[in-house]
Chain A
Amino acid sequence: MINIELLVIGGGPAGLSAGIAAGKCGVKTIVVDENPLPGGQLFKQIHKFFGSKEHKAGTRGYKIGEQLLNEVDQDGVEVYLNTRVWGIFDNNIVGILKDGKTQKVKAQKIILATGASENAIAFKGSTLPGIMTAGAAQTFINVHRVLPGKKILMIGTGNVGLITSYQLMQAGAEVVGVVEASQNVGGYDVHANKLRRAGIPIYLGHTVIEAKGDIEVDGAIIAPVDEKFKVDKSKSFLIDCDTICFAVGLTPRIELAQMVNAPIIYMSTLGGYLPIHDNRLKITEDIFIAGDISGVEEASTAMEEGSLAGVAVAMELGKLDKNKGVKEIEEIYKRLAKLRSGQFGSKRASAKEEIIKKQMEMKGGFK
């Protein structure tokens, strides 16, 4: 059995930032990730990030991943790759699968930074080969450098759908259209305008009702939907394509939190069911969360939350002076407030406040 002070599960922006923050304070930390490459979703992001300098704006996603990795290394944090956590048991015993073997890790504190998984929608033919998540397409073009198809139809105009469409074009695919059930584009206008300038049609108020093809996709039937999402099949038409991508939202990966019986809450603005946490991202006596698992946001917020959880753990383990820690957390909250402002951000800010309020109302504190 491996004994460690802090085990961080997930090596995306949240997990790596948590490792860095805790490692800096001298907390003996291991970060595990099931992938051969750390960085979580960052490794497929080849575009420059928005926001402010302190959140690495202007830097391409995968470069941010590399920077975080370097820092983790310098802080003496161990990173186990190809290592999947399959369970958390009593007394903070964690089951990991590494090199094909199961091992036990006993950790004084645990941070769950497992991210989110991509949503799907169902229609006739929606399981045909050639239909995949936008993230799959993005991973294969940007990391493995293989096109998933030649003529691509994207479903969803959130930032993931818009950015992935543009990147598919950059990679040499033809994007035949982007379909969006709502009457408005979900993501930032800058991203949508890039597609519009390239002449890619964005079908607002439409959805895919059927994928054509016997053994692989060779077309999609789309139809208009009204404000109440009622489909008008009489106005449906066929779009020629060999690939359909889903960019229809993310759901927090909360299985491990459920395994430790953390109370769960439903928050639609944050992606669905997620563990209730306090203002230090704590969900049980020894377990913390950070990043998309605590509500789907962005890489910048995931990094801040990771730092917050790392600092909170260092304080609890007595590796960081209480006053200093409290100050650092205040600073992190100031930066988070900036990130959680504006049209989309303010909704996330109030959802986050609601969760913390719920936690304070819970009787008996942490288990």
Chain B
Amino acid sequence: MRIKHHPILGEITEKKIVVIYVDGKKIEAIEGEPIAAALLAAGIRIFRKTIKTAEPRGLYCGIGQCNDCIMEVNGVSNVRTCVTLVEDGMVVKTQVGKGKGGDLDDKY
């Protein structure tokens, strides 16, 4: 749920709305917010399944330290969604285990 009104921070300012695709489903997101914020706003809290026991995991530290919120983003696995910012048309997938997208290392 988005916090539209806030007693100290005031109203939410005009932001550019874009769409991203989460497991094939289209959701609205704000350009430049972390992917995890868009997911929480859409009520999605399960981001991945662990490698051995397929247990669900979601947002945990929120500042890029713990790696619990990793997902497949635009075909790349292990992307920390709490510090990776939304771009229009992004394709985000629940990551199972190590994911299918290969690692960041393969890209750079």
Contact = CB atoms under 8 A, between A and B. Distances in A.
A149 B59 CA distance: 11
A127, A136, A141: most-surrounded residue (chain B CB, <10 A) = A136
A133 to B, nearest CB: 5
Contacts of B9: 46, 142, 145
A172 B3 CA distance: 7
Interface in B7-34: 7-9, 12, 33-34
B46 A215 contact: yes
Nearest to B12: A145
Interface residues of A, number: 35
A146 interface: yes
Interface residues of B, number: 35
B58 A129 contact: yes
Contacts of B5: 172
Interface in A92-151: 100-101, 117-118, 127-133, 135-137, 139-142, 144-150
Interface string A232-269: 00000000000000000000000000000000000000
Contacts, number: 95
A171 interface: yes
Contact of A141 (B3, B34, B104, B107): B3
A135 B63 CA distance: 8
B40 interface: yes
Nearest to B37: A144
B41, B46, B61: most-surrounded residue (chain A CB, <10 A) = B61
A136 B62 contact: yes
B90 interface: no
16 contacts: A35-B64, A60-B8, A100-B107, A128-B58, A129-B46, A129-B56, A129-B59, A136-B62, A140-B36, A140-B37, A140-B62, A147-B1, A170-B6, A170-B8, A215-B46, A216-B45
